[in-house]
Amino acid sequence: MTSVAVVGASGYIGSELLRILVNHPKIDKIIALSRSLAGKKVSSYLTHLRGFLDVEFINTDLEKLDADFVYVAAPPGEWINSIPAVLDKGIRVVSMGGKFRIKDPLIDSKIYPGFDNTRLMDEVVYGLPELYREQISKARFIANPGCYTTSIILALAPLSSQSKILDLDKIVVSSVSGSSGAGAGPSRFLHHPEMSSNLRPYKVLEHRHTPEMEHILGREYKTNLNISFTPSVGNYSRGILSYVNLFTSHEFDLAQAFTEYHGGEFFIRFIGSDEKTTPNIKDVVNTNFCDLGAYYDGTRKRIFILSATDNLIKGGSGTAVQNMNLMLGFDESLGLESVGLSP
C-alpha cells in the first residue's frame, strides 16, 4: 500500500485532496501538514472528515517526510528548495500551485517571481493527463494545471488539427467560477453581502492563467495563440463554466473533431453539437468530469464551445489524483469515480 503527504492540507485544494484520498483503495496512510494547525485533529477542523481522518495535522520539513508521494498545495515558498532532496529520496511530487506550469523561465519568473529552481524547471511535466499521459506516467515532479486552464485547454485542444483554418489571433474566452476558486482566506471581495445575488468580474485585462493557456495550447497547435480571457466569480461555491469563442470561414464536423480527440477519455463527456443540449455546472460538481459542447454559428462564422468542470476536483485535486495514479502505476480512475448530484 501507499502513504501520501499533503502539504497545505487545510486549504480548499488540500482538504479536497484529503477527501478523495480517504476513499482511495490503494492509499493506507495520509499525512496532513499545516503550519497553523499543527497538533490539532484534522477532523476537528475539517469536520466532514470525522470518522475518516482523525489524525493530527503536523508541521515538519519536507526532507523529513516518510511518504511515498507528496502533494504541495501551498503558495510558492521555501518548500521549493526542498523538492530536489525529496525527489532524490525516491518520493514523487505534485505541485498544486502555479509555479513551474509554464516551462519558460522568463515567463514563469514574471508571473510567479522568486524561488526559481533550474533543476525543477528542467524536470517538471505539465500534469494534464488527457494531453500528457505518457510523460506523466514516467515523471517524478508534476505541475498540476490551473482550474480555468484545465477547463479551457480541454475545450480548445480538440481543434488543434484544424489550426490552419482557424483565426488563432482572436480567441475570446470568459469563465464563471464558484467562490471557492479564490481559496479559503476571507476577504471583502468574497464576503457574503458582497457576493449574494452578484456576479463579479475580476482581472479583466490580464489573469495569470492566460499565459499558461497560451503556452500549453501553443504546443498543441504548434503556433502562437492570442487568447482574450475574462474571469468572473459567481455567487455559488464550486464549479466553472467556460464560454469559448473562435472564428473560421470553413465549416467542419465539430462532433467528429471532439470525439476523435477525446474519444476513450473516461473523464471527458462530449455532450454534442445540438444547441438544445448544453453542459452545465450541476452535472459535474463533486466529480472529476469535464463536460463539453461544441457548436457552429454559420451566420457569424463562429465556433462556440462550452466547458463545465468542478474547479476543486477536475480543476485541481481530482486531476492531481489522476496524476498520482499514473505515476504510481494505478488505474487512472481509482478514487475518482463519483457521479454528480441531482437535484
* DSSP per position, 254-271: HHHHHHHHHTT-TTEEEE
pLDDT-derived band of residue 75, with 50, 70 and 90 as boundaries?
confident
Which CATH class for the 2-123 domain? alpha beta
CB 22 within 8 A of CB 49: yes
* DSSP per position, 16-81: HHHHHHTT-TTEEEEEEE-TTTTTSBHHHHSGGGTTT--PBPB---GGG---SEEEE-S-SSTHHH
Q: How far apart are CA 168 and CA 158, in angstroms?
A: 14
Spans of all domains in the chain: 2-123, 149-310
For residue 192, the model assigns a pLDDT of 87
How many C-beta atoms surround the C-beta of residue 298 within 10 A?
A: 7
pLDDT tens digit string along 332-342?
A: 999 999 999 88
Identify the active-site residue in 147, 216, 244, 336. 147
The mean pLDDT value for 307-319 works out to 99
Tell the burial category of 195 from Cβ atoms under 10 Å away from its Cβ (0-12, 13-18, 19+).
middle
pLDDT tens digit string along 10-40?
A: 999 999 999 999 999 999 999 999 999 999 9
CB 26 within 8 A of CB 1: yes
Specify the CATH architecture of the domain 149-310: 2-Layer Sandwich (3.30)
> E strands along 167-226, which residues?
167-177, 199-201
For residue 6, the model assigns a pLDDT of 98
For residue 319, the model assigns a pLDDT of 99
pLDDT tens digit string along 40-73?
A: 999 999 999 999 999 999 999 999 999 999 999 9
Q: How far apart are CA 20 and CA 337, in angstroms?
A: 10
Reading across the β-sheet that carries 125-126, which strands appear in turn?
Answer: 27-33, 2-7, 69-72, 92-95, 141-143, 125-126
For residue 343, the model assigns a pLDDT of 83
pLDDT at 205 over 90: yes
Which of 95, 85, 98 shows the shortest CA–CA distance to 7?
95
For residue 189, the model assigns a pLDDT of 82
Q: State yes or no: is 290 an active-site residue.
A: no
